[in-house]
A and B are shown apart, each in its own frame.
Chain A
């Protein structure tokens, strides 16, 4: 499974990105507006100042006169500590003030309208307000321009202050937005996580459709999930049917052949013929056993994936299996001796019966006639042990681990029908239950002890 990253993280990152963008934008706008507001204030004061000066202009005996009112400059001082410059000129002649102030040279509208301009003076940026008035000079009215300028250092520091505060606000907004995004992402993903939890809480064999309310966005996912589970259930059922059908198809004709062979053997006169028929029956037994155990093995494999545990009394479990094999043992006059303890195990009874039967069947098969097979149960150290001892020839020389591998048979099994799957099945079942199968030859090479070990419940 490849992971393409967490949806929650992606959602959070996306929302945080948007928040960052919005924060920068709002900071930029607040800064701009603050600067504009400061500039407008300066402009208004400059305009008032310049108008005040312009109003003092008058004509006196053909000469232009003016008084520089103190208030015109003090009001500028009120807004900042910035330096103030002024210039009053009649046409191109400077009457008073800073001569080199870079006033706009373009023609100015008369009639008292204030014109603003920005420029450089003595190495600083300045804002200038200029107004022009017609004043009688001699007999001719001449335009007199009054300019008041102020450096913008104060404004810049005010804007910087405001901009810094706006930045703090923007950062605060960004942080709040990020945590809200994370919260929103988590909240909107909650139903998804709940569905995932509901699915993983289920037992492996629970293939019922999911019935829980979910947001509309998740409905398609739920539907596909339910459809998948339905298909899975169908394929498990069809596998079961297939195994049953395969077994039926193989075993029924074998049963016919075997019965006919027995009939033929009864009526056969010739010893050689009888020998051939016996061999035939053995071959049938061998193939039917193999077919049966292959199918059992297939069933066991898929059932162990899907273990259904039920608490059962050990004595019930063992008792049933032993009762089922009693007639088989009786045919060889083998006594089955059972020693039980009171213990409970949590197992799949069908699988455990199969495991137990395979081991017990082995013990009976490899035992000489008129002997005893002991089935002794014990419980110690959190384990339930079912030891099955026979009085046969033991396990032979090969390594015992080999015997539980598929199609491996012991070194001394000549002449006995077997498929080499019985112990594999038993081991697989026990391992699926968290247990194990122990095999050992008894001391002196007389007999085998196979122990089925299960965790006790």
Chain B
């Protein structure tokens, strides 16, 4: 996916760009509202991440101004007190908001929810064996059959799909699936992998156990 990040704090912007890149997203960074306007006139984005306090104005004013001609969904990044900010941001046309510092899996979940609500096009479809997987809507199509996956299954399948043929350790998978505040054992990963295996059974794609190392996704065409 292609993101536009509008954030004036350069260190934070760099970290966010770096972190989103790890999940395979392309991110353009604008440090001010003026920069953001330039970026928007030059390229198409799937989603805008908009900071509230910017050197050349309030992000929410920008939102109110550009909402009429801006098609791209916007998630507002706020560092203020939630009590006063939240309602204001949503009223002025943001699709959602997230409070700094944010959990990237929460950001991902919010992006997914916003894009699904907006009815985004399935331009991120991934072919897996005989099936087509749309990580955005979380559907897995196999012939005429369409399966709705649960959130964690979507995330797990997405990780495997983006790293076809690579060995992924349980600990790597754990960080993708669970938030850091919960104590999770590696057994939980086995449960989810087992469940995902049943979901993709007979679709020409499989998740192999690599003893002592982790799991690997194999597709017939790989």
Interfacial residues, chain A to chain B (CB-CB below 8 A): 240, 243-244, 247-248, 250-260, 262-263, 265-266, 271, 274, 278, 281-282, 284-285, 288, 292, 295-296, 298-300, 303, 320, 324, 326-328, 330-333, 349-351, 353-354, 357, 365, 369-370, 415-417
Decide if B152 is an interface residue (CB 8 Å cutoff). yes
| A354 and B99 alpha carbons, distance in the complex (Å) | 13
- B171 neighbours in A (Cβ, 8 Å): 271, 274
- Provide the bound-state CA to CA distance between A278 and B105, in Å: 14
Q: Which of B78-127 contact A (CB under 8 A)?
A: 79-87, 90, 96, 99-106, 109-110, 112-113
Q: Which residues on the A side are within 8 Å of B81 (C-beta)?
A: 243-244, 247, 292, 295-296, 298-299
A350 to B99, CA, bound (A): 16
Interface residue range, chain B: 35 or more
B202 CB–A CB distance under 8 Å: no
B113 touches A330 (CB 8 A): yes
Q: Can you spell out 21 A-B residue pairs with CB atoms less than 8 angstroms apart?
A: A248-B79, A250-B79, A252-B9, A254-B100, A258-B103, A260-B18, A263-B15, A263-B18, A263-B22, A266-B22, A266-B175, A274-B171, A274-B175, A278-B180, A282-B181, A296-B81, A303-B83, A331-B109, A331-B151, A333-B150, A415-B183
Q: Are A415 and B181 in contact (CB under 8 A)?
A: yes
Residues of B within 8 A of A257 (CB): 101
- Measured between beta carbons, the chain A residues less than 8 angstroms from B96 are 324, 327
Q: Binding site of B, secondary structure by majority: helix, strand, loop or mixed?
A: helix
Q: Give chain B interface residues in 1-48, CB to chain A under 8 Å.
A: 9, 11-12, 15-16, 18-19, 22
Q: 7 other contacts beyond A260-B15, A284-B101, A330-B113, with CB at 8 A cut-off?
A: A251-B99, A252-B79, A259-B18, A259-B104, A296-B82, A303-B83, A330-B109
- Are A296 and B181 in contact (CB-based, < 8 A)? no
Q: Is the CB of A326 within 8 A of B151?
A: no
Q: Provide the bound-state CA to CA distance between A256 and B80, in Å.
A: 16
Does the CB pair B101–A258 fall under 8 Å? yes
Instruction: Contacts A266-B175, A281-B180 given; indicate if A252 touches B100 (C-beta within 8 A).
Output: yes
Secondary structure call for the A interface: helix
When distances are taken between beta carbons in the complex, the residues of chain B under 8 Å from A303 are 83
Please report the C-alpha to C-alpha distance between residue A295 and residue B83 in the assembled complex, in whole angstroms.
9
In the complex, which residue of chain B has the Cβ closest to the Cβ of A260?
Answer: B15
- Contacts A265-B175, A330-B109, A416-B182 given: A259-B80 contact, CB under 8 Å? no
Contact B87 A350 (CB under 8 A): yes
Min C-beta distance of B92 to chain A, whole Å? 14
Q: Are A350 and B83 in contact (CB under 8 A)?
A: yes
Cβ-Cβ contact count across A and B, 8 Å cutoff? 138
Report yes or no: B9 in contact with A259, Cβ–Cβ below 8 A. no
B100 touches A333 (CB 8 A): no
A333 to B81, CA, bound (A): 28
Tell me which residues across on chain B come within 8 A of A243, comparing CB atoms: 80-81, 84
Contact yes or no, A252 B18, CB < 8 A: no
Please indicate the chain B residues that have their CB under 8 angstroms from the CB of A415 in the complex: 181-183
Q: Is the CB of A244 within 8 A of B19?
A: no
Are B84 and A244 in contact (CB-based, < 8 A)?
yes
A256 and B12 CA atoms in complex are apart in Å by: 4
Complex interface: chain B residues within 8 A of A330 (CB): 109, 113, 151
Q: Give A138 to B157 CA distance when docked, in angstroms.
A: 167
Whether the Cβ atoms of B83 and A299 lie closer than 8 Å is yes
Determine which of A292, A349, A365 lies in contact with B99 in the assembled complex, contact meaning CB atoms within 8 Å.
A292
* Contact status of A251 and B79, CB under 8 A, knowing A331-B179, A333-B150, A416-B182: yes
Q: Which of B12, B19, B79, B182 gathers the greatest number of chain A CB atoms within 10 Å?
A: B79
Closest to B86 in A: A353
In the complex the two chains form, is A328's CB within 8 Å of B106's CB?
Answer: yes
Residues on A with beta carbons closer than 8 Å to the beta carbon of B179: 331-332
In the assembled complex, which residues on chain B have CB atoms less than 8 Å from the CB atom of A296?
81-83
**Which listed residue (A251, A274, A327, A370) contacts B113, Cβ 8 A?**
A327
Query: Smallest distance from the beta carbon of B76 to chain A beta carbons, Å?
Result: 12
How far does the alpha carbon of A256 sit from the alpha carbon of B90 in the complex, in Å?
A: 24
**CB nearest neighbor in B for A425:** B83
- B131 vs chain A, min Cβ distance (A): 21
Q: Once the chains are docked, how many angstroms separate the CA of A333 from the CA of B106?
A: 13
Tell whether B167 is near chain A: CB-to-CB under 8 Å. Answer: no
Instruction: Give chain A nearest CB distance to B89 CB in angstroms.
Output: 11
Residues of A within 8 A of B99 (CB): 251, 292
Asked if B9 and A350 make an inter-chain contact with CB atoms under 8 angstroms apart, the answer reads no
Given A244-B81, A327-B106, A415-B182: A333 in contact with B151 (beta carbons within 8 A): yes
**B53: CB under 8 A from chain A?**
yes
Contacts of A292 in B (CB 8 A): 81-82, 99
A357 vs B83: C-alpha distance when bound (angstroms): 10
Please measure, in the bound complex, the distance between the C-alpha atom of A333 and the C-alpha atom of B80, giving whole angstroms: 28
Other-chain residue from A251, A300, A333, A353 in contact with B101 (beta carbon distance below 8 A): A251
Residues of chain B contacted by A349 (CB below 8 angstroms) = 87
Within the complex, the shortest CB–CB distance from B2 to chain A, in Å, comes to 19
Chain B residue at minimum C-beta to C-beta distance from A249: B79
- Contact yes or no, A350 B100, CB < 8 A: no
B83 and A300 contact, CB distance less than 8 A: yes
Q: Closest B-chain residue to A350, C-beta based? A: B87
